[in-house]
Chains A and B, each alone.
Chain A
């Protein structure tokens, strides 16, 4: 099969991606940081650094700790604020064909609604509702860890949101399925998961946590099996598209998530180690499809057969 016969494009609730690979929020800056190393046209989308209504400074350093096959981070949503994003970052990103996903986080439901309203009039392609950041004291994950919370915030934001609304879920819950169903019922157009897993690393010589914030979010290869399981669980109970992430650093990793039911994937921590990771994942998916004579990514999405 020739390469041009392989169709990598996917449609996530109206968000049309040239390929199913998206740079994950918080790991891909605003795209420009990676432009020296790769052609941004070659990835399906970029979910930008989590935005808040006003500029935020984030947490005290150290904000990162390396752990076995992973990292803990507690950046705490350092960002220039939604207005500065609209003014300074969208014009750069729009030079490329890659789709722009605005990831938003806030202290209150009103913050989220206000940002959704402003971004609906901006030149972006989708909004990702971050109700799963473990690193801020107020809001955010408090909305995402109960069915009632996620239902309320999704429903209210949906009223202001004129773009496809992706709700990003936390893995730090007992049953991710019921959270996903609550988001779907409240009007989410798609689900993305997993955000980071709450963790802690200790410097035994100082008898203190390594992170200034004491705890942080675990990501990287270490979390991949948990993420694959959760994506599988969610994809089997919702009808809306699922975007999978958690420790993806190769095409093979991405294919696992897609077989488990993800229509697209986000690449996160791998970008820190290898600035061309997203492009490598695109190529890896293509090679897999070629190897098994598939002509479209839809031939593998959700095609997992259980034992």
Chain B
């Protein structure tokens, strides 16, 4: 169950161009959050940036009772959030949404992240302690490459691509995934990032007969399933209905969502 919480900010750090990492002290979230879930964060005090911002939980330290979120400044909400001070409180609701499906049956897993979509995958990798883990991370350019050391230590092998070739493989990350699907094979692929990438991963997994979970993004209102704005199609291409990313997702099985919009 999620709760409305006022929690203390332990640290806030700029980790790349316009990208910030915030560590928040929260016994409740650290004890209850599962990989793939998010917190809905009130970024401002007043009536500007009125809505909360859904931000996925990137890391949890159960011993210290903290969790981390990483966000990119995209508008006034995240701008306000980046200006919060260590020691002050942040108003948030969490943990929210459906988590990634984790099972001991998944012996060989791949996570495929693009841009700011990589963050929920770190906590997932850390929680899947027994599996053999391949991480594929794609970025626009080296300016935006973040947290590679943590992904490296949380996985058995890490592949990086940039669109401009300024770091790692030049091209799209799914090229690297394609090679490994053929060579290694996976029991499950988890993906989060830009829609074209998610679509491609979904197709590749389907063709290879590999289970796949996708974490989707949509403009949200309440985050708790009441306002119905964050619609996404579930079902089959010719027989779908609108479900909602905040409550039914953000994580879905790739074969239950229709990604044609």
- Which residue of the partner chain B has the closest CB to A67? B50
Q: Are A68 and B48 in contact (CB under 8 A)?
A: yes
**Which residue from chain A places its CB closest to the CB of B1 in the assembled complex?**
A36
Check B242–A58 contact: CB distance below 8 A.
yes
Query: Do the beta carbons of A61 and B42 come within 8 Å of each other?
Result: no
Among the 9-residue stretches B13-21, B107-115, B216-224, the one with 4 or more Cβ atoms under 8 Å from chain A is B216-224
**CA separation between A33 and B226, bound complex, in Å?**
6
Given contacts A61-B219, A73-B221, contact A272 B227 (CB under 8 A): yes
Across the interface, do A64 and B50 meet the contact criterion of CB distance under 8 Å? no
Q: Does A288 contact B (CB under 8 A)?
A: no
State which size class the interface on A falls in.
Answer: 35 or more
How far is B220's CA from A63's CA once the two chains are assembled, in angstroms? 9
A58:B1 contact, CB within 8 angstroms: no
Given the known A-B contacts A61-B231, A275-B4, A275-B224, are A71 and B47 also in contact in the complex, defined by CB atoms under 8 Å?
Answer: no
Within 8 Å CB of A66, what residues of B?
A: 49-51, 77
Closest to A64 in B: B229
Main secondary structure of the interface of B (DSSP, over half): loop
The reply to whether B226 and A34 form a contact with Cβ atoms under 8 Å apart is yes
Q: Mark A273-307, 1 if CB is under 8 A from B, else 0.
A: 11110000000000000000000000000000000
**CA–CA, A271 and B93, complex, Å:** 13
Q: Would you call B232 an interface residue if the criterion is a C-beta within 8 Å of the partner chain's C-beta atoms?
A: yes
The listed residue (A33, A34, A63, A273) touching B50 by CB distance below 8 A is A273
- Decide if A75 is an interface residue (CB 8 Å cutoff): yes
- Alpha-carbon separation in the docked complex, A34 to B227 (Å): 11
Chain A contacts of B50 at CB under 8 A?
66, 69-71, 220-221, 269, 273
Which B74-116 residues have C-beta < 8 A from chain A?
Answer: 77, 93
B residues in contact with A71, CB < 8 Å: 50-51, 221
Q: Which residues of A contact B149 (CB under 8 A)?
A: none
Closest to A37 in B: B4
- CB contact under 8 A between A58 and B228, given known A64-B219, A68-B48, A71-B221: yes
Binding site for A on B (CB under 8 A): 1-4, 42, 47-52, 77, 93, 218-222, 224-232, 241-242, 247, 261
Which 7 interchain pairs have the tightest Cβ spacing?
A29-B226, A272-B222, A64-B229, A63-B229, A33-B226, A69-B47, A61-B231
